[in-house]
Amino acid sequence: MANHLYKNDLPDGLDLGPIVAIDCETMGLNPHRDRLCLIQMSGGDGNCHLVQVTPGQTAAPNLCAMLENPDVLKLFHFGRFDIAALLNAFGALAAPVYCTKIASKLVRTYTDRHGLKILLQDMVGVDISKHQQQSDWGAPVLTDAQLDYAASDVLYLHQLKEKFDILLAREGRTEIAQACFDFLPTRARLDLSGWPELDIFSH
């Protein structure tokens, strides 16, 4: 495994393949208040590509081209937050997308534990550390421990997707999962537009 750290954007010509696992680190959980600091990505080959975002940065052309490329599936865990964070920072709406947390909630109905650490332990046999989860991602220089933590959030998502695809098919929920994935970018737009908690489908 190797971590490749870039400033501001992905390098020209980098092709991460047809399915790209993506996660974001921010200064907090409010995308309007808390700036985007780091985006980590993997093509599923064991390598992680990380983009450190400069305060006030509003453009990342190569990253945005990948996010909006209809031929590249963007793979998230709790994509609702990451899609909104990326849209708020750069104006790019990621699509098409797949979310392993949504997949888990559709097929692991026997539990309420859908965090990435639990899923990787139960389904892939990998134990990742969450020690750096609440560290300062806005620091000008990120530590190796921070980069390794960030990488661990994307390196195994391809394996997790393969497991969930099997379970979704087994339980007859592939179609409804796809409908949820297709709606997820719109759900992120609603979050940013002032409807983060309100159920607009309720009476």
Look up residue 153 and give its DSSP letter. Answer: T
Residue entry with tokens 């921010």: 26
Q: What is the pLDDT of residues 80-139, one digit of tens each?
A: 999 999 999 999 999 999 999 999 999 999 999 999 999 999 999 999 877 666 789 999
Question: What pLDDT score does 133 carry?
Answer: 66
Average pLDDT of the chain, as a whole number: 96
Residue 184 tokens, joined: 């997820």
Q: What is the pLDDT of residues 8-48, one digit of tens each?
A: 999 999 999 999 999 999 999 999 999 999 999 999 999 99
3 state SS of 40 = strand
The amino acid present at 71, given as its one-letter code, is D
The CA-atom distances, in angstroms, between 137 and each of 160, 170, 187 are: 26, 40, 26
Task: Report all structural domains of the chain as residue ranges with CATH numbers, in order of start.
Answer: 3-193 (3.30.420.10)
- How many Å separate Cα 75 from the centre of its chain? 6
Antiparallel, parallel or unpaired: β 97-99 and 19-26? unpaired
Residue entry with tokens 């026997």: 110
pTM above 0.75, yes or no: yes
Q: What is the pLDDT of residues 127-137, one digit of tens each?
A: 987 766 678 99
Question: What pLDDT score does 134 carry?
Answer: 72
